[in-house]
Copies of this chain bind each other. A is one copy, B any other.
């Protein structure tokens, strides 16, 4: 879908900054932080301020155009994929991976009497790439 259309569908006026940030999220499925987005876009939009990145990410999240991830204790991350899907955080390299929805717990609007709006689930451990590196290291040194 077109970026501008997507913003409009969520009742967000498409400014240059908002388009750039939404576009970045749609292009990069790396679950970036506000700072990463700012650093990436700063060269092409020199006047961009971090405040605007924070404002825009909050706006996108509130209007359902992006998802806020609170996996990492340090930073809040953002994801253009707003469908309920799991995440895996590697404790070694810090990368966040998407997990297929197959792993999702059963969804329901009500749970033990509470009205559920958002579903988040994630796992932490060592990712397959770090496991592979470790395996190579062990092989090499034995």
Contact = CB atoms under 8 A, between A and B. Distances in A.
Contacts of A99: 111-112
Interface residues of A, number: 36
Interface stretch (A22-30, A45-53, A67-75): A67-75
A2 interface: no
Contact of A113 (B116, B119, B121, B128): B128
Contact of A114 (B73, B76, B88, B119): B88
Interface in A100-142: 100, 103-106, 111-128, 131
A90 interface: yes
Nearest to A68: B73
A97 interface: yes
A134 to B, nearest CB: 10
A13 interface: no
A63 interface: no
A93 to B, nearest CB: 11
Contact of A88 (B70, B90, B103, B111): B111
22 contacts: A70-B70, A86-B105, A88-B116, A99-B111, A100-B112, A103-B105, A103-B111, A104-B105, A105-B121, A113-B128, A114-B127, A114-B131, A115-B127, A115-B128, A116-B125, A117-B123, A118-B123, A118-B125, A119-B123, A120-B121, A121-B121, A121-B122
